Amino acid sequence: MSSRLRHARSIAGAAAVLAAALAIPATVAAQEVVLGASVQLTGPVANTGRYYRDAYQIAIDKINAAGGAKIGGQSHKLALKLYDNQSDVNLSVRQYTQLVSQDKVTLLLGPFASNFALADSAVSEKYKVPMVQGGGASDQIFSRNFKYIFGTLAPASNYFASTIDMLKALKPKPASVALLYADDAFDVSVADGTRPKLKEAGLTSAMDERYSTNATDFNSLLSQVKSKNVDAVLVAGHETEILNFVRQAKSLGVAPKMYSFTVGVPSEDFRKALGKDADYAFGMTAWLPSTSLKDRWFGDAEKFAAEYKARFGYDPDYHAASGVADVETLVQAMEDASSTDPQKVRDALAKVKFDSLYGPIAFNAHGQIDLPQVVIQVQNGKLAEVYGAKGIVTQPQYPMPAWSAR
């Protein structure tokens, strides 16, 4: 008897849960354009994920303050529906599905990181709702012939292009180059794109090593760099890895003539964590808060940076600018199409062309933006724009002195 009831209760319990799940109501107000996103707010990459949350929010608030999006003669306010995917790709996919099919958001904004964008773009393609993401640069995302995914991060394969141009211009030209890269989608893309460029530039490759994502120990690699006397070291990795790399380089006394990193250098907390050890490090960014980048809502990039810092307490970097650009792009596309219909917005996105605080926005046939990377360097604790499209802007500090001589 008791076993029957025991199982009855278990089954009833499960059924009750199912019923509750079926009953979750959709939550959308009419006349409002809701932008949905699933972002890493907790979990290992949360410290970059928050740039997107804050960027989306500040952009939406700014646009609303100016009257919202003017679609077909009517003003529409924007709203943000944000979920935390806890740095879990599978959860992110389910949350995007929920945003589209249950919460019935109008359009989608993207997550951070290439592997997330890769998986989540399958959702936007399935439901034919455009997603503009500013967090994934891997070429893989845009090679599936998907029509509903657009990206505002410059292609991964191009990241070191301007750096290599700069290397050619340095005196003395580096005799050997080491390419170290993590084995995730983004960094592998970077390395694949960098190798041919090194060859074209006539630079000798002394080391070409793939390391595990999230590695914490670079001592062996650094010892090899030292023993081979490599002049230039290019590292494609994530912030925590690069942080460890620099610290361990110092503690092993490894000081090549220059080193350049795909991420980290533009971020304030990265430079803060390293303090003076961050000096001489090269990096790249597709964005700098300069007054020459004019924006319809924020005025220009410098004003945006100030507003962002005042509101959130930390400096924005290109992640944040990219996130803001995503929101502005969607608004611009809706206005161009005079509609919030996903299909029409998608077509407008394919043709969109305007200037924003992030730079000129336009997508190629695969949906990816093309922006050149500017080479930057940490000079005396501050970020300096060193090499851009027109050549040297500020003189790079080269070669890097030995650690003991700093």
Partner 1 sequence: MSAPPAQRADAPQTPDKPQAPDKPPTWRRVAAIVVFAALAAVPWLGSDVLVQFGINALLLAVLAQAWNVIGGYAGYASFGNSVFYGLGAYGVGIAMVQWHLPFAVGLALGAAIAVVFALTLGWAVLRLRGHYFAIATLGVAQVMAAIVSNVELAGRNVGLVLPPLNDDRLFYWLALALLAAATLSVAWLTRSRFGFGLIAIRENEEGAAVMGVHTTLYKALAFAIAAFFSALAGGIHAYWITFLDPESAFDISLNVRMIIMAVFGGPGTVLGPIVGALSLSAISELLSSEVTNIAGLFFGVVVVAAVVLMPRGLADAVRGVRLHGWGYFARNVKAHRL
Partner 2 sequence: MDLLAQVVANGVLLGGLYAVMALGLALVWGVLNIVNLAHGAFIMLGGYAAWHLYRLAGIDPFAGLPIVAIVMFAAGYAIQRGLLNLVVRAPMFNTLLITFGLEVVFTYCAQLAFSADFRTINPPYAGSNVALGPVTLPVARLAAFAVALALTVGMWLFLLHTRLGRAIRATAQNLVAARLYGVAPRHLYAVTFGLGVALAGMSGALYGTVSQVNPYIGATLTAKSFAISIIGGLDSPLGVIVGGLFLGIVESLTTLYVGPTYADVASFGILVLVLIVRPSGLLGRTA
Q: How far is the CB of 126 from partner 1 (least distance, A)?
A: 5
Burial class (CB in 10 A: 0-12, 13-18, 19+), 331: buried
Check if the beta carbon of residue 77 is closer than 8 Å to that of residue 56.
no
Number of residues that bind partner 1 (CB under 8 A): 50
- Which residue, 268 or 370, is less far from partner 2 as judged by CB? 268
Contacts for 223 with CB less than 8 Å, ≥ 6 apart: 252, 254
- The residue with tokens 């699933």 is 38
The Cα–Cα gap between 345 and 392 comes to 40
Q: Looking at the DSSP assignment, which residues form a beta bridge with residue 234?
A: 179, 260
Span interacting with partner 1, options 81-89, 200-208, 274-282, 336-344, rule CB under 8 A: 81-89
E strands, 192-301, are 205-211, 232-236, 258-261, 282-285, 294-295, 299-300
Binding mask 229-248 for partner 2 (x = CB under 8 A): ----------xx--xx--xx
The Cα–Cα gap between 40 and 75 comes to 31
Using CB under 8 A as the binding rule, whether residue 220 contacts partner 2 is answered as yes
Q: How far is the CB of 151 from partner 1 (least distance, A)?
A: 16
- Residue from 80, 122, 170, 252 touching partner 2 (CB under 8 A): that is 252
Contacts for 69 with CB less than 8 Å, ≥ 6 apart: 33, 63, 75, 76, 78, 331, 334, 335
Angle (CA) 151 157 161, round 5°: 115
The Cα–Cα gap between 186 and 67 comes to 38
Span interacting with partner 2, options 41-49, 68-76, 278-286, 338-346, rule CB under 8 A: 41-49
Binding mask 268-307 for partner 2 (x = CB under 8 A): -x---xxx-x------------------------------
21-40 residues near partner 1, rule: CB under 8 A: 21-22, 24
Q: In the numeric block, which tokens belong to residue 71? A: 């679609």
Residue 6 contact, options partner 2, partner 1, none, Cβ 5-8 Å cut-off depending on partner type:
partner 1
Distance of CA 18 to the CA centre of its chain: 37
Using CB under 8 A as the binding rule, whether residue 144 contacts partner 1 is answered as yes
Using CB under 8 A as the binding rule, whether residue 157 contacts partner 1 is answered as no
- Residue from 77, 210, 296, 303 touching partner 2 (CB under 8 A): that is 210
- Residue from 32, 183, 200, 341 touching partner 2 (CB under 8 A): that is 183
Q: Looking at the DSSP assignment, which residues form a beta bridge with residue 32?
A: 77
The Cα–Cα gap between 136 and 150 comes to 10
- Residue from 59, 62, 174, 184 touching partner 1 (CB under 8 A): that is 184
Angstrom CA distances, 54 to 47, 63, 151, 304, 324, stand at 12, 14, 18, 13, 9
Angstrom CA distances, 373 to 157, 319, 338, stand at 11, 13, 33
- Residue from 34, 37, 50, 331 touching partner 2 (CB under 8 A): that is 50
- Which residue, 279 or 328, is less far from partner 2 as judged by CB? 279
- Which residue, 209 or 370, is less far from partner 2 as judged by CB? 209
Q: How far is the CB of 25 from partner 1 (least distance, A)?
A: 11
Report the interface residues with partner 1, using CB under 8 A: 2-11, 13-15, 17-18, 20-22, 24, 41-42, 82-84, 86, 89-91, 93-95, 97-98, 100-102, 115, 118-119, 122, 125-126, 140, 144, 183-185, 188, 212-213
Report the interface residues with partner 2, using CB under 8 A: 42-47, 49-50, 183, 209-212, 214-217, 219-221, 223-224, 226-227, 239-240, 243-244, 247-248, 250-253, 269, 273-275, 277, 403
